[in-house]
Amino acid sequence: MTASPAVRVRPSHDGDVAAITAIYAHHVLNGTASFEEVAPDAAEIARRRAGMLAQGFPYLVAEIGGEVVGYAYAGLYRTRSAYRFTAEDSIYIHPDRARQGIGRALLPELLDRCTALGYRQMVAVIGGTDNLGSIGLHAAFGFTHAGRLPAVGFKFGRWIDSVLMQRPLGDGDGTPAA
């Protein structure tokens, strides 16, 4: 049995935008993880990334042998002030690198960084009840099923559900927020 190559997780930088754009475009054009239907160009991805970073959120990439093979970031779950302690995660893996432990490398690092920033809850909004890889990944890291929004997306000629999963960060709701 051949050992899986080492996955290195690090903060993203401007030079990663092309790889991030290509990974995301694949998911937009071929899957339901994103409800976008037109893949954004590199300039738009750079703008979105800069916006997350400007808000102080982590935006990470995973590398194998120097190649960006996945990325993850967090942002506010919702913008109203009462949601200020709740983040939402996004994780995308290169289509040729699925099931190689990349999500398992990215997600705990993202959770740790959001916990350190003072967030108390992490929400995953997963496109499609058939997105078993994402559902399983999140469950493996302590997310529990929080709900399902039936038929909220329409893509590829069919209605798609959103699966909501959630897990506490740090003290969660066990202590008042600071």
Please report how many Cα atoms fall inside a 13 Å half-sphere around the Cα of residue 141, on the Cβ side. 25
Measured CA to CA, the distance from residue 171 to residue 119 in angstroms comes to 9
Q: With a cut of 90, say whether residue 40 has pLDDT above it.
A: yes
Nearby residues of 144 by Cβ (< 8 Å), 6 or more positions away:
165, 166, 167
**Stretch 24-40: mean pLDDT, rounded?**
97
Taking the model in full, what pTM does it have? 0.94
Nearby residues of 51 by Cβ (< 8 Å), 6 or more positions away:
none
**Confidence at 171, pLDDT banded by 50, 70, 90:** very high
**Confidence at 4, pLDDT banded by 50, 70, 90:** low
pLDDT in tens, 113-156: 999 999 999 999 999 999 999 999 999 999 999 999 999 999 99
Nearby residues of 176 by Cβ (< 8 Å), 6 or more positions away:
none
**Stretch 89-99: mean pLDDT, rounded?**
95
Pick the CATH number of 8-168 from 3.10.105.10, 3.40.50.1360, 3.40.50.720, 3.40.630.30: 3.40.630.30
What are the extents of the domains in the chain? 8-168
**Stretch 75-79: mean pLDDT, rounded?**
96
